[in-house]
Amino acid sequence: EARRRKDDGREKVLARMAATTPVKGEGEYLDVEAEELDDLLSALSRTPEVHIRSRGEAAGAGPRGFATPKTEGRGVRPSSSSSSVVDLTSTFVKDLFQAESFDGSHDWHHILRVRKNVVDIARHEGLTERQALVVEVIALLHDVADTKYAGHEDRQAQLDKFIDDKVKGGLLMEKEKELIHFVIRNMSFKDESKGSCEGYELPLELKVVQDADRLDAIGAVGIARCFMFGGSRNSTIIDWRPMNNDGDAKDCNETGILYKTCVGHFYEKLLKLKGMMKTERGKALAEERHTVMVNFLEQIEKECDVRA
């Protein structure tokens, strides 16, 4: 009699599974009462992949906010070892940066600082465990194919293959691959200035990585990186537009400092970043760093002003 009741219970569970209507690109969800759990777990080995959702969990939401896609044409379900993809990505990027000729403004240490910022912001902004993993991967990869540096086409191909392999290996989902590429393509200051994402609701992952990267462009480290990059391109520390030049002033700030110089770059870009932060944590961290830059500029302009 006990076996018959158990079989009947299993059949009810299987019937409910069969009646579940999947959403394209997402997993199937099934509400489960506590007393049905044993029957459901027994049936899982012979049924399509489902997510077990408690009564109190919002319908349509996957584990920690992710809906796991079906494996058909979407890449396999991520493996349970969440740290492995981050470790593999870290090794891939570190080896690549050591082999390539990046200057000190965009080196492995920059990647580590952005990664640290991402982890901090993700924790404060309430990202899910899976979202936090993805933004850490993006932080590690974001400068691999930077077009400012020679060989970026080859590195882009390596990046594409690396991500594809992680999808095939079950460490990333197809939709996460698409998100990684989207964030990297659209997170730069230049992209935002051109309105690349205008009219779109930006994914939280882009906001987090973008703020993390921008934090490393301001403050004391931002000052150091600015002059490091300028030195690699033989830029002048500071220069002013000639006083007798009545032409277009778009190449300088209101006091005549040329944007093409290191100091000019602060006015062209770096001083604007505080107002472009998108997360509350990013905004808070940017305040102190912005003040550091303002104070530095006041001093260096005073010391460097050799105009008559």
Can you tell me the mean pLDDT for 254-268?
95
Q: What is the pLDDT of residues 161-177, one digit of tens each?
A: 999 999 999 999 999 99
pLDDT of residue 191: 87
pLDDT of residue 107: 94
Contact 156, 143 (CB under 8 A): no
For the chain, what is the total number of helices (H) and then of strands (E)? 12, 2
Q: Is the per-residue pLDDT at 248 higher than 90?
A: no
pLDDT of residue 271: 98
C-beta pairs of 195-203 under 8 Å, 24+ apart in sequence:
202/278, 203/179
pLDDT of residue 71: 33
What is the rounded CA–CA span in Å between residue 271 and residue 295?
A: 12
pLDDT of residue 261: 97
Distances (CA, A) of 15 to 12, 18, 26: 5, 5, 20
Q: What is the pLDDT of residues 205-240, one digit of tens each?
A: 999 999 999 999 999 999 999 999 999 999 999 999
Residue 28's beta-bridge partner residues? 50
Can you tell me the mean pLDDT for 256-270?
96
Q: Which residue in 289, 143, 292 sits closest to 209, CA to CA?
A: 143
pLDDT of residue 78: 55
- This prediction has a pTM of 0.73
What is the rounded CA–CA span in Å between residue 76 and residue 173?
A: 7
Q: What is the pLDDT of residues 32-75, one digit of tens each?
A: 444 454 554 444 444 444 443 433 334 333 333 333 333 333 44
Q: Is the per-residue pLDDT at 30 higher than 80?
A: no
pLDDT of residue 116: 98
pLDDT of residue 300: 97
Q: Is the per-residue pLDDT at 178 higher than 50?
A: yes
- Which residue's entry shows tokens 């997510």? 51
SS3 content of the chain, % helix, strand, coil (to 5): 60, 5, 35
Contact 282, 212 (CB under 8 A): yes
Q: Which residue in 172, 138, 121, 156 sits closest to 278, CA to CA?
A: 121
